[in-house]
Amino acid sequence: MTDKPSTARTSRRSVVGGMAGGVLAAIANPAQAQQSNAAPIAGPAKQDPTTQYPRPPFKPQQQEWPGLAGKMDPRPDHGEESYKGSGRLAGRKALITGGDSGMGRAAAIAFAREGADVAFGYLPAEEADAKEVVQLIEAAGRKAVPLPGDIRDEAFCQKLVEDAVAGLDGLDILVSNAARQHPQKELADITTEAFDWTFKTNVYAMFWITKAALKHMDAGSSVIVTSSVNAYAPDETLVDYAMTKACGMNFTKSLAKQLAKKGIRINAVAPGPIWTPLQPSGGQFPDKLPKFGADTPMGRPGQPAELAAIYVLLASQEDSYATGQVYGAVGGKGGP
């Protein structure tokens, strides 16, 4: 028998191999095979990220600490209109500190729309913002548990966790997000009282709340710490704040090695300049606020909504192999 030309053999092998690959793909993922010719699912419209949100200069504005999102101009976008869920956190139970505004509010909205019930801490002075968050969580069909109080107090931190667990009937996700920031031009200008205030809010509370929460968390749970670009690229006017954010980053990396054995993940988000009430309520010098974020390659600050998907990813099972990681979102100005 005469052999067929090599080109014919190659062609036949390619066809048979392609058919086999297609059959195997269909067996492995029948839904994907059925949808291969379907129209793509509509998602967010493609946009230029440099002009997607407001750019400086901003209107001069100052608020009494701790500030309200509802009084900012322009108002921050936390994803109230834009975030669409897809069941990625269905049935989960989350506690978020600083959930009334900023990244905490963005995470609360996103978690609820992904199917999670959400408890969140906030200061009593932030009640107006907190009420909006409750409405947004409930509008998503999920349970909201608002928990006002001051996390500088260890007893309150323990109560915060216990009340969250009772209100949610469990705890799967912890987001340690609440923070204080107040710039000073000279180290001599940072008083011991202010130093203590910043560390109690940003470090002690993170420690107390995480320690209490872990008693209720099991394998598959997730802890997320909000760190900052200042953890690894500190601003000269934010010495004490930058120190606390470095603490958060190292807390994440160190604790990840302990918790991995229990099947619990911990990761951090390290934002750059984000438009939140932290900025006009003492987080920036008043004369610098109108140009806030202008020095990034994108030429603008980020919006809380732009970080929501990062918190969802870190909380979800999709990110199951990531622990001890720091996820940056800094508008192009460096990264972890």
Just list the catalytic residues.
241
What is the per-residue DSSP string for 251-298? HHHHHHHHHGGGT-EEEEEEE-SB-STTIIIIIS-TTTGGGTTTTSTT
CA–CA distances in Å: residue 57 to residues 266, 272, 290, 291, 293:
37, 18, 5, 5, 9
> Which residue, among 334, 335, 279, 328, has the nearest Cα to 307 in the 3D structure?
328
Residue matched to tokens 């409405």: 135
Quote the CA–CA distance of 321 and 312 in Å, as a whole number.
Answer: 15
Three-state SS string across 16-46, please? HHHHHHHHHHHHHCHHHHHHCCCCCCCCCCC
Q: Provide the 10 A C-beta neighbour count for residue 312.
A: 25
The alpha carbon of residue 325 and the mean position of all alpha carbons in its chain are separated, in whole angstroms, by: 13
DSSP state of 176: E
Quote the CA–CA distance of 170 and 151 in Å, as a whole number.
Answer: 21
Quote the CA–CA distance of 19 and 12 in Å, as a whole number.
Answer: 11
Q: Is 300 left (phi over 0), alpha (psi -120 to 50) or beta?
A: beta
31 by Cβ neighbours in 10 Å (0-12 / 13-18 / 19+) ranks as exposed
**What tokens does 325 get?**
């990681």
> Which residue, among 216, 232, 218, 198, has the nearest Cα to 334 in the 3D structure?
232
